[in-house]
Amino acid sequence: MRIKITADSTCDLSPELIRENGITISPLTVSCAGESFHDGVDITPDELYAKIAASGQLGTTAAVNVQEYLDLFGGLLREYDAIVHFTISASMSACFQNASTAAGELGNVYVVDSQNLSTGIGHLVLDACEMARQGVEAAEIKRRLDEKREKLDVSFVVDTLDYLRRGGRCTALAAMGANLLKLHPCIYVKDGAMGVGKKYRGRLESCIEAYIRDRLSDPETVDPRRVFITDSGVPETCRAIAEKTVRELVPFEEVIHTRAGCTVSSHCGPGTLGILFYRK
């Protein structure tokens, strides 16, 4: 059986990983200042930030619609026996609902609600690619990953709460207080929704190191196979500190750096960095 693995652009996998694994991406729509773009196709995060700065308007995002999924899945089913598709958490977007509607019309499409975002989704997608290469059937891939998603540990430290505030994901008072006190909150994902965890104070570089030490404080509970270090645009010093700290604490087999796409970046803003891995 030929199985195709597809995912929404919110998985934040690099072009190299997408190409090497033969993944097909369905881009969300990103809009700013009256213009609309396809995430990762005709706009980059840095271009989006420039448009936001020039216009003073926050970028907005829209889910892949049912017709877009029908076109994507229908075309692929002419070449493949089945599709396993991954979406951002159903509580964050209509992508899962729309993909499920399209899948119901076509058949042989298995939609996985990642209950996650960014490379939290990316972990599941890469695991699905490996299973498909091993000959695991599509329904079984979905079943296994519906279980495995519960072991994901996904979090980020943000440089500013301004984007989350303007997007309605935190209060103006909380954002103002965090900015005045130079706080960098940890945003985590649990049960498909975002929450605010520990707040770090000081320079972004030192906060990133402290955050990583906290997340990896119990290395015996960490699956050492793979970790993503994903950011929305941070200085190279931050990436270097993150990798050094990660490697010091856990002997991961793979440490993969990726840049968050426009959908994730439009909500968290520049200066965000996270580590995303599995617990045992």
Task: Please give the order of strands across the beta sheet that includes 254-259.
Answer: 193-201, 183-190, 152-157, 273-279, 222-231, 254-259
Express each pLDDT in 3-41 by its tens digit: 999 999 999 999 999 999 999 999 999 998 889 999 999
Is the pLDDT score of 161 beyond 70?
no
Q: Which CATH number fits domain 152-279: 3.40.50.300, 3.40.30.10, 3.90.1300.10, 3.30.1180.10?
A: 3.30.1180.10
Express each pLDDT in 112-142 by its tens digit: 999 999 999 999 999 999 999 999 999 999 9
pLDDT value of position 185: 86
> Range with the lowest mean pLDDT among 49-53, 218-222, 241-245, 275-279?
49-53
Distance CA(118)–CA(229), nearest Å, equals 11
Residues in Cβ contact with 260 at an 8 Å cutoff, skipping those fewer than 6 apart: 12, 45, 118, 230, 231, 232, 233, 268, 272
Q: What is the pTM of this model?
A: 0.93
Asked: is 3-149 a CATH 3.10.20.30 domain? The reply is: no
Taking the domains of the chain in order of start, what are their residue ranges? 3-149, 152-279
> Range with the lowest mean pLDDT among 47-61, 101-115, 214-228?
47-61
Alpha carbon separation from 8 to 30, 81, 83 (Å, rounded): 13, 20, 13
